Structure 1
Amino acid sequence: MSFWRKIAGLAALNLDEAECDVCPPGLPGEDPAFSTAVTALGAKLAKADGDAQAGEYAAFAEVFRPEPASAGNVRRLYQLARQTTRGFESYARRLQKRYRNCPQLLEDVLDGLFFVAISDGVVTDDELTYLARVSELFGQSPLVFRRLKATHLGLEANDPYAVMGVAHDASDAQLRAAWKALLAEAHPDRARSRGLPREFVEVAEAKAAAINAAFDAAMRERRALALQGVA
């Protein structure tokens, strides 16, 4: 990830610098508070499944790319932080507070954490719970989390967005446009007008029903999220 290219003098014992109310200028990797928090989140994620493996640090370093001059400090902080998952919520809150006006940066951090989670070949329920909580503390919509999850782990078979072929956090207008386009293509009347056998019409009817059901499910979920104030 390009935003981690220049980590300035990370102080492993200075774990509490993240009180600024606005995004600081320059690269986030030059901000010790950013680098400290992201390193701690990556380390504590490795511990979330109860088995912090050495290979997970290699995955973390591959994604976040500490500079050679800072690598020793980053590794020491990582080793310290990975002893327990306690405190991860505090680091996530501090990142959100410091970079709340930079939502793409926070999304990039979560994207990188997903990469670390799958580095050992499997993402456990505990790791998914950890990642979902970090996303929530970052102030991200559940739909953003589902998009990132699908990017790394694939769409679930019953996911309505898989049927619609759109991103989980696509706008309502984009979702509606996709629904109309798919429905127009799959409408049973098209099969009838082409004189296709009854079996083809039945397939088209089933496909149209699935498209309508997926659209209705997605919109119900969005309305529920809006009522909760988290959409």
Structure 2
Amino acid sequence: MDSIWSRIGAMLSSLPSRSLSGFSAVIEAIRTTFRGDPELRKRVGFSVAMIALSAKMARADGVVTQDEVRAFHDIFEVPDGEMRNVQRLYQLAQQDTAGFEAYATQLAGLCGSGDENCLLLEDILDGLFFIAEADGHVHEREIAYLQRIAEIFRIDEVHFKRVLARHAQASDWDPYAVLDLAPDAAFEQVRKRYRSLVAENHPDRLIARGMPADLIAIATSRLAAINAAYEAIERSRVLA
């Protein structure tokens, strides 16, 4: 069975060179090429969203660090023969004069926005945070960029803060925010919420809702943050 990356490569190869002067042509190609397979279109849309918006984020921050490049490759476990297609899309997005807001709007249309497929769009946001924090700090410009992405994706403030909490620096880290709970929540409520989040964010569940299996690093990072938050709360309650 062809991988998601070989399907993206075949799609790019089918486009006339003149069609690739702007990234919008790629997004429209996804819409038409995979019209008959909504699930495959979601997976392709997710992958392309991660590539395009991370490229635009690098421009917003003004610098691409080697740590961010490594994080990008940690997420995209792409066969060597297909990496050129990822690089081609990344460079095209960086060079395109269109703003990231136009991309985000078009990509939300592929993946769904608001209540429909909202969790898949949150997965994209989480992946962008994963890349942003790779150099040890999520910079203010990156947070502003990601908050605007969340607004376009119609991810509400509560969900945005929960994603932000998972990627906060040590001095700002709040385990209750990671689990979206009040600090005075009963421990039974903490345990129930923790179990619900673990089940909801199991890699198989993420793949089922459209995250490509190649991007399992996002799910692993998210589960690690959820586990760490629960363990921190559990320790604090025992010591109290």
TM over 0.5, shorter chain: yes
Map of 1:77-116 to 2, 5 A cutoff?
77-83=89-95, 86-100=98-112, 101-116=116-131
1:134 aligns with 2:149: yes
Query: Which amino acid in 2 is paired with 1:40?
Result: A
Out of 6, 29, 37, which is 2:49 matched to?
37
More off after superposition, 112-121 vs 76-85: 76-85
Whether the aligned pair in 2 keeps the contact of 1:110 and 1:135 (CA below 8 Å) is yes
1: CA distance, partners of 2:121 / 2:149: 10
- Which of structures 1 and 2 has the larger relative contact order (alpha carbons within 8 angstroms, sep 6+)? 2
Q: How many residues align?
A: 166
Deviation at 1:92, TM superposition (A): 1.2
Map of 1:32-181 to 2, 5 A cutoff?
33-83=45-95, 86-100=98-112, 101-154=116-169, 162=174, 165=176, 167=178, 169=180, 179=184, 181=186
Deviation at 1:45, TM superposition (A): 1.0
Deviation at 1:134, TM superposition (A): 0.8
List per-residue Cα deviations over 1:122-159 (Å, max 9, x = no partner).
221111111111111111011111111111114876x9
Whether the aligned pair in 1 keeps the contact of 2:162 and 2:177 (CA below 8 Å) is no
Deviation at 1:36, TM superposition (A): 2.9
Deviation at 1:94, TM superposition (A): 1.8
Which segments of 5 or more consecutive residues in structure 1 lack a partner in the other structure? 183-231
Identity across the alignment (%)? 36
Query: Which amino acid in 1 is paired with 2:138?
Result: V
TM-score by length of 1: 0.59
| Aligned-pair Cα RMSD in Å | 3.3
Shift of the 74–26 alpha-carbon distance from structure 1 to 2, 3 Å rule, reads same
2: CA distance, partners of 1:140 / 1:90: 17
Match of 2:208 in 1: none
Whether the aligned pair in 2 keeps the contact of 1:55 and 1:119 (CA below 8 Å) is yes
TM-score by length of 2: 0.57
2: CA distance, partners of 1:48 / 1:23: 34
2: CA distance, partners of 1:167 / 1:143: 11
Match of 2:16 in 1: none
1: CA distance, partners of 2:102 / 2:37: 18
Shift of the 85–56 alpha-carbon distance from structure 1 to 2, 3 Å rule, reads farther
Shift of the 15–27 alpha-carbon distance from structure 1 to 2, 3 Å rule, reads closer
Shift of the 166–123 alpha-carbon distance from structure 1 to 2, 3 Å rule, reads closer
Whether the aligned pair in 1 keeps the contact of 2:108 and 2:153 (CA below 8 Å) is yes
The ranges of structure 1 where at least 4 consecutive aligned residues each deviate by more than 4 angstroms after the TM superposition are: 18-23, 83-86, 154-157, 166-170
2: CA distance, partners of 1:149 / 1:42: 16
1: CA distance, partners of 2:97 / 2:164: 21
Match of 1:24 in 2: 38
Shift of the 76–140 alpha-carbon distance from structure 1 to 2, 3 Å rule, reads same
Shift of the 131–107 alpha-carbon distance from structure 1 to 2, 3 Å rule, reads same
Shift of the 114–107 alpha-carbon distance from structure 1 to 2, 3 Å rule, reads same
Secondary structure at the aligned position of 2:39 is classed as: coil
Secondary structure at the aligned position of 1:82 is classed as: helix
Deviation at 1:87, TM superposition (A): 2.1
* Structure exhibiting the larger radius of gyration computed from Cα positions: 1
Deviation at 1:96, TM superposition (A): 1.6
Shift of the 58–155 alpha-carbon distance from structure 1 to 2, 3 Å rule, reads closer
Which segments of 5 or more consecutive residues in structure 2 lack a partner in the other structure? 14-19, 188-240
Deviation at 1:166, TM superposition (A): 5.3
